Structure 1
């Protein structure tokens, strides 16, 4: 009998069932009726916490160290995915934020090791290569949205670039394609991998990319400025923005120039940032699978904890699905 069975029979989420059975229902304002229902169901089904441990001696606690924390949005979805995966296996997840400070990262890792956490997920908000704190090497650990000297879970950015390029080719965009967002910046290796994927498919199809504009930062302001400058010299057929926030700025620059999306210019983004759903037309984008990343990181970590997974730096890549909007139109319709 698992926690998931209790949750399903009680008509509540796995997280709610876990909170009730760990004595935190009142603290987090779970209704008395729901609390009683979970407790009664657990008793009827004979559920016992911790009885399905993979091996003796586990604290059934995992740690998640983030370089930034948000209650909602992409980072929030990562945390939700990790929480759900931990709860399904009867583990508690301790979440903490370092603010990107290496000293704080080391202190948090040491604190979780001192509290006998069975394993730690070390996560970055933006894909990058990280220097692994020494404390992470003293037990099971997995990197999330980062690569380094440990097993890691990241989005498959190169294949995301492949998908983006194929989407434009299928719409007939074989000339006048401009890339927005290349160059160095705080976005780490994501830009390079997305560009690699885009260029591989375009090159195989014999398509020449007209231009690749650099954006040191992936912001709406940068997207607007770069697109406005581009329009002074060229009339693009399609814009591939390496981040949805750049695409938001590009929309505004195109509108100021009297051009419509997708009637005059198709626009494609990356990330499935919350802003994408508010753009009109809704932006077509390659999504970061945030919740799935959190879930998979916990699953990989538990494989290491249980002795079924390697501690070597194996990279687990998750696909980036296409979120179809109305921002890409076939060239035959123009």
Structure 2
């Protein structure tokens, strides 16, 4: 049998104080209860010597507060890259003295309802509702009216009822344009990808790029349209080069597109960054693996996870969309425009 855990009464007896005095000291209420410093030190010493730990279950039954948070996601728990959001959430929860439960639904509404119901049965205090991709969501019925922060997603409500933490994709696009402009590019700047209206990241990145280029009195020369994966990007860029396109700078809408772009450029004998500059978004592991290493605008998953929990635990937090900056990771894929001799 496991050893019996020491009780609060045993701590009080060892310290020579009443049980209520020991309770107030261990709850940090020695000042407002006017408990002497000598008594406080005796209680703390007794608790250390007995290796006393409070019964959190009993406390939660009494206070109706469990100091627990549940993070419910579609697939980010099993994605090693987006999983940084979970790391940030965990770190913030620990910093605020809370435990974090993590559940993944794989986008199945039946699984989601059962998971949330089970978590409510365990009396978690609040929820982080998270998405792998930035998108609009409908808050599950079981979470309506409860303490919730949205992570990497938003609701379409005219007056949001909770904070929603998303990456600042428009500013990221603007920053991407500035990197290209500061390198000296004004002409031959092409987007690679498909900035479809229904894809939040693509739509906002493209809008920011156009806005940033316009401020520098430039504009995209065109778009090489493709799906957001290496193979279609390779095929599209290869076809464009074979058709006579000679770009000066390529802004890829994510790192997977950049990988396919590198392959097509290398096959055509086009050198990065001497002949063409390449810039991308996400700052996944691919960005550092490619040669030359890829300049990319980072998705701030860790910071978003941290911010979601901080806002969730802040009683003064206002509902609404919070955009987290996406930092530029400058590497070796952007250079000055090629000038033929």
Match of 1:222 in 2: 232
For residue 115 of structure 1, report the CA deviation from its aligned partner.
1.6
Alignment of 1:97-176 (within 5 A): 97-148=104-155, 149=160, 150-176=162-188
| 2: CA distance, partners of 1:109 / 1:196 | 36
Counterpart among 296, 310, 324 of residue 330 in structure 2:
324
- The gaps in structure 2 that reach 5 residues or longer are 1-44
Flag the 1:87–1:146 CA change in 2: closer, same or farther, 3 A: same
| 2: CA distance, partners of 1:290 / 1:206 | 33
Flag the 1:223–1:85 CA change in 2: closer, same or farther, 3 A: same
Match of 1:253 in 2: 264
Match of 1:194 in 2: 205
Q: Determine if contact 2:192/2:233 at 8 Å carries over to the other structure.
A: yes
| 2: CA distance, partners of 1:239 / 1:197 | 15
Paired residue secondary structure (1:59): coil
Q: 1:305-327 CA distances to partner (integer Å, 9 max, x unpaired)?
A: xx3223x3x01111000111100
For residue 69 of structure 1, report the CA deviation from its aligned partner.
3.8
Q: 1:266-316 CA distances to partner (integer Å, 9 max, x unpaired)?
A: 00000001111100111000000111111111111111xxx3223x3x011
Deviates more, 1:196-205 or 1:101-110: 101-110
Alignment of 1:2-151 (within 5 A): 43=48, 56-70=63-77, 73-148=80-155, 149=160, 150-151=162-163
Larger radius of gyration: 2
Q: Determine if contact 2:194/2:228 at 8 Å carries over to the other structure.
A: no
Q: 1:75-131 CA distances to partner (integer Å, 9 max, x unpaired)?
A: 221111111110111111010111012232232222222221111111111111111
Question: Which structure 1 residue ranges, 4+ long, deviate > 3 Å from structure 2?
Answer: 46-50, 69-72
Q: 1:130-188 CA distances to partner (integer Å, 9 max, x unpaired)?
A: 11111121310011111114320011000001100001000011000010112339x83
Residue 245 of structure 2 corresponds to residue 237 of structure 1: no
| 1: CA distance, partners of 2:113 / 2:202 | 28
| 1: CA distance, partners of 2:108 / 2:306 | 25
Q: Determine if contact 2:134/2:166 at 8 Å carries over to the other structure.
A: yes
Q: Determine if contact 2:65/2:125 at 8 Å carries over to the other structure.
A: yes
Residue 295 of structure 2 corresponds to residue 263 of structure 1: no
Provide the TM-score with structure 2 as the length reference: 0.77
| 1: CA distance, partners of 2:93 / 2:300 | 18
Q: 1:209-259 CA distances to partner (integer Å, 9 max, x unpaired)?
A: 1112333x3111122122112212311101000101100110000001111
Match of 1:290 in 2: 301
For residue 74 of structure 1, report the CA deviation from its aligned partner.
1.9
- The gaps in structure 1 that reach 5 residues or longer are 1-39
Q: Determine if contact 1:81/1:293 at 8 Å carries over to the other structure.
A: yes
- Please tell me the root mean square deviation across aligned C-alpha atoms, in Å: 2.5
Residue 222 of structure 2 corresponds to residue 211 of structure 1: yes
Provide the TM-score with structure 1 as the length reference: 0.79
Q: Determine if contact 2:74/2:107 at 8 Å carries over to the other structure.
A: yes
| 1: CA distance, partners of 2:281 / 2:150 | 22
